[in-house]
A and B are shown apart, each in its own frame.
Chain A
Amino acid sequence: MENTLLEVQGIKKSYLGGAKQVLKGVNLSVAKGEVVAILGPNGSGKSTFLRCLNLLETYQEGRVLLGGGEVSRGRPDDHRWTGEEKAALRTLRRKVGMVFQRFHLFPHMSVLHNVMCGPRHALGKSEPEARAIAERMLRKVGLWEKHPCAPDTLSGGQQQRVAIARALAMSPDVMLFDEATSALDPQMTKEVTKVIREVAEEGMTMLLVTHDMDFTRDIADRVVFFEAGLVAAQGTPEQILDERPTQSIRDFLEE
């Protein structure tokens, strides 16, 4: 593939010392600026896969390359992380932004401080610089007027938009969305998907785990279908969602 940004090679992950295999050797290449929607039934490993990409979950085999360089590799369960490896891990996470289903905004900080937190403390920017970045990001998601507020005074949709701003403030190379709209009602979903679409249109590379087919059709360049810890099929949204090439995709979509 031309212009590959993210390359995942043969990731395997298991729990309970190998007794429960969740990922059985996943390969995936994502081009720069590409938007990939990851679909699949519950327990197919799609969320785990996403969390392996920024090492919120560790995996035992395989490796991940970002911009051609290896950023993580499989480790045995009893691996002890050296200081150097931990530093490399933090570098990786600064390049890979993540948005969670349940937002996870920091409730003890204002909206502004939530967004400033990454640039200020992870990137070591000065207070005014971090503030300027945060202001730009909050304006982008249309919530600058909420910057002095406590997160829990915002609606769910607004909180998720702040969470997107918080991740964007790190200027990541890739954004991961882990069921970013699943906890929201349709109205709020609309406002969040609108923001995600805008970010995608600016050329951000994205991987989204989602259950929202309309959203997938609307935004995804490619759909990857997970089944039992493997990529079972992939293609354009039309190829997967309309042509429904396999029985399991048909089962999944008819549910």
Chain B
Amino acid sequence: MNPFLCLASLLLAVVPAGAQPPSPAADRSWDRVREAGVLKWGADPDGGAPFLFFDVNNTDKMLGFELEIMADVASRLGVKYQLVRAQWSFLADDLFAGRSDMVMNGLEIKPERERVMLFSKPYFVYEQQLAVREADKDRYRSLEDLKGKTVAILKGAEAYNVLRRAGWSDDRIDQMQDSQTPYDNLLVKKAEAVLQEDIITQYYAAKRPGLFIVPRTFSPGRYGVAFRKEDRALRDKIDAALDAMKNDGALAAIYRKWKIKSVKAAFSDAPAAEALDARSVLAQLVKAMGYTLALTLLSMPLALALGLALALMRLSKRAWLSWPAVCYIELMRGTPLIVQVFLIYFSLPVLGQSLGTELLTWPKFFVGVFCLTLNYAAYEAEIHRAGLQAVDKGQREAASSLGLSETQGFFLVVLPQALRIIVPPVINDLISMLKDSSIVSVIGVAELLCVAQALGRSSASTAQMLVIAAFFYLLLSLVCGSLGKWAEARLIVREAPELKLDQVHGH
């Protein structure tokens, strides 16, 4: 299939993904899980304490009360569970795309969500809780005392609606990207208070000196497990398991263990509060660097190969070959990589479904390689084109005049010279791909930047982790740069092996 059509169908395929889930004749949602023996659980472990988060000293290990609930539910149902990672805001998309069977990750049961998803009974009830600076603890005792003041929150959280209902305007609501930065804003006096769910407030605010947690909580809300609208059978099974956990005290035991609903500062001795071990942090970053390197070293050769094919198509005199290549190149260069990553990631399974194959449900890592390859192929195509055009026309004529075929002339004479010309720009792109590979972290590939940010959130020193990550990126790009110089030298001194001939012939 030509790449343009392929891409067009990808784009079309993504539309039904969010809009309307496929309607099954019979609800086989539980049967599917039982037959597979695996319950695919969508959640975002990045900075999600105490719900679900990485152990700071071992990112292979996760902790959190939701993990323990999940383990218990799965064992009651007689299946295993498997975590499907994604950024929190994309958990629902993964669910619709069929990557996960359910989402359990601090998802509030809200009317607008219930319109598109099915919810279990609540497994947790939270309330909103304020944190203020220690010095202000007598001034601000309730939300009313803060009228007209700026309040920092987590972007997209329920706190936003609470504030709006209480009369706050948007410019007095400071929306931050993660749970932790609102407290930074509070401490540097860019905000007068932070409003978050009690469980988060008690977990994060208790760890930060100089903060006071206002005891009174308000505006209760409920967390529930979300399912696709039609998966009633699966929802009922999970509801039954949660009921059983409530009845036999298993749920209460988990909450006790995590000291949830106890007084403030309770979390200071919870598992995640362990001191960060520098060596294990380094080991995790090195491992993540390996992912970054693997992403790049797999994607670049593929992008070069696809780019060469595109360049040849583009240089073709036949319009039906050159036009699709031109369109593909302009489309891939003209749209942001991050958008392409999302579109491809969420369309692939849908495309697979409509083609009736499961071949397209690749692991995230390979989706990442696929996206980087498709995107960079457009740039490499233009580099190849410039390289091929820079080879003197006489070279092709000389090859022809020796009786070489067009193919031989291309591979023996033109391409090697073009490759020599394109080494510097390709190395340039290799280095930029190293850094662009961080974009695939949005679909949950645990590469360098992703892990550095996660470590930063767990350790409360994001800046420090980012500096270390930046150093690693620099290291990688220096290595790639010297790799390029080596390749350039090698391509130019192709004739060196011939020197041996002297010895063979004895001249």
Contact = CB atoms under 8 A, between A and B. Distances in A.
A147 interface: yes
Interface in A160-184: 166-167, 170
Interface string A126-148: 00000000010000000011011
A104 B495 contact: no
B412 A121 contact: yes
A96 B401 CA distance: 8
Contacts of B401: 54, 56, 93, 96-98, 100, 167
Interface stretch (B92-100, B166-174, B391-399): B391-399
A102 B394 contact: yes
B404 A121 contact: yes
Interface residues of A, number: 37
Contacts of B392: 104
B499 interface: yes
Interface in A79-104: 86, 90-91, 93-94, 96-98, 100, 102, 104
B498 A122 contact: no
Given A104-B392, A121-B412, A147-B501, A109 B494 contact: yes
A118 interface: yes
A112 B395 contact: no
A109 B394 contact: no
Contacts of B420: 108
B354 interface: no
B402 interface: yes
By secondary structure, the B interface counts as helix
Given A93-B400, A94-B403, A122-B404, A147 B395 contact: no
Given A122-B403, A148-B498, A106 B398 contact: yes
Contacts of A108: 416-417, 420, 491-492, 494
B408 interface: yes
A216 to B, nearest CB: 23
Q: Which of B395, B495, B499 has the most CB atoms of chain A within a 10 A radius of its CB? A: B495
B502 interface: yes
B250 to A, nearest CB: 71
B413 interface: yes
Given A100-B397, A104-B392, A148-B499, A118 B402 contact: yes
A147 B498 contact: yes
A112 B398 contact: no
B405 interface: yes
A6 B501 CA distance: 39
Interface of B: 392, 394-395, 397-406, 408, 412-413, 416-417, 420, 491-492, 494-495, 498-499, 501-502, 505, 507
14 contacts: A91-B403, A93-B401, A94-B402, A104-B392, A106-B412, A110-B498, A113-B495, A117-B404, A122-B403, A145-B507, A148-B495, A148-B498, A148-B502, A167-B401
Given A54-B401, A170-B402, 11 more contacts: A86-B406, A90-B405, A94-B402, A100-B398, A102-B394, A108-B417, A109-B495, A110-B495, A111-B495, A122-B408, A166-B402
